[in-house]
Amino acid sequence: MTPISSSSEGISDAALSAATGRTWAQWFAVLDEQGAPGAPAHGRSPSTPAWPHPQIARWLQTEQGVDAWWCQGITVGYEQARGLRLPGQRADGTFEVSASKTLPLEQTRALDVVVAVLSASLGAPASRSSTAAYATARWPLPGQVGAVARGGSLLATANPTKNGRTSVTLTNQRLADPDMAAPVKMALSAWLAAAAFEAARGLG
């Protein structure tokens, strides 16, 4: 099996556990136990196919009561960890790149800071929404902005963690070229570093 990192799809163990009750390793173990990765033929036993993406996500939602948004993240992270898809590859064949950082702010304020930083380069977000579990803002990317690729979108997601802190994830979605992953990740990390600086300055 592919080793499990402490963060998959840019979502930390702390954020995932706070929202779903399990860490990445725990969810991967549960899905393995259910037979999601499939099994090769052995002796007289026929091979068992891996679960397709919709089946994993549906099982997480119906059998485990996981919110639909988190179902998608867990499913993609699991498929990547088990070699069922390339790193960053989505079900439609495009790629996405994420970076995350924890800010010392509550959810709404953390997203406000990130939106202010991104809006300086991208303009105001096209949409913004908020629930108790997470808050998001999205920007369409009709043209290229630095390393961030054209034709997709940029999603900012804020997930509350412990002690009034918030894990913020930036995701550049629908990349056609996986070779863009490294420069895009650097750009996303730079925006998050700027947001962390603004958050610290506001607390000072």
Q: Where are the domains of the chain?
A: 7-81, 95-203
Given a contact cutoff of 8 angstroms between Cβ atoms, the answer to whether 148 and 57 are in contact is: no
Query: Residues near 31 by Cβ (< 8 Å), separated by ≥ 6?
Result: 37, 56, 78
Residues 72-108 have pLDDT tens digits of 889 988 988 888 877 767 766 778 888 999 999 999 9
The whole-model pTM stands at 0.60
Q: For residue 188, what pLDDT band results from cuts at 50, 70 and 90?
A: very high
Q: Pick from 64, 55, 53: which is nearest to 22 by CA?
A: 64
Question: Residue 181, exposed/middle/buried by CB under 10 A (0-12, 13-18, 19+)?
Answer: middle
The average confidence (pLDDT) of the chain is 85
Residues 139-160 have pLDDT tens digits of 988 665 555 555 688 999 999 9
For the domain bounded by 95-203, which CATH number is listed? 3.30.530.20
> How far is it, in rounded angstroms, from Cα 126 to Cα 83?
34
